[in-house]
Amino acid sequence: MSGTESHAALFESLCDEYTGVSGVTMPEGGSGFGSNAIKINKSIFAMLVNDRLVVKLPAGRVADLISSGDGLPFDAGKGKPMKEWVGLTVDDDACRVLVAEAMAFVGG
């Protein structure tokens, strides 16, 4: 995925797509971790952080995405990567698949 505008645009599109899905809530604003997040049953599964789409997946899946170059470690500004969070570097279609996978993981 190239350019920060495409990350923001993709996130907006995902918000539109997931609006109305049972149990899913959209970003509510504010500041801090998860302030720009899509949630299922009050748990975050995708968010836009520093113009990067970030999703929650099992730690092993995150490690695989990072190893393959399809994701970057996510540290929430604390300097230590979070094992179940990854910043995506793949194209829009692959991002959509990973967001759906994240929703299933978090909401399952």
Per-residue pLDDT tens listing for the chain (108 residues): 444 458 899 999 999 999 999 999 999 877 777 789 999 999 999 999 988 999 999 999 999 999 999 999 999 888 899 999 999 999 999 999 999 999 999 997
Kindly indicate whether the domain formed by 4-107 is annotated with CATH number 3.90.1150.30: yes
Regarding beta strands 71-73 and 37-40, do their DSSP bridges make them parallel or antiparallel, or are they unpaired? unpaired
The predicted pLDDT at position 78 comes to: 86
Cβ(87)–Cβ(69) under 8 Å?
A: no
Measured CA to CA, the distance from residue 106 to residue 92 in angstroms comes to 21
**Single pTM value for the model:** 0.91
Query: Under 8 Å CB-to-CB from 63, ≥6 apart: which residues?
Result: none
Measured CA to CA, the distance from residue 8 to residue 24 in angstroms comes to 19
The predicted pLDDT at position 3 comes to: 44
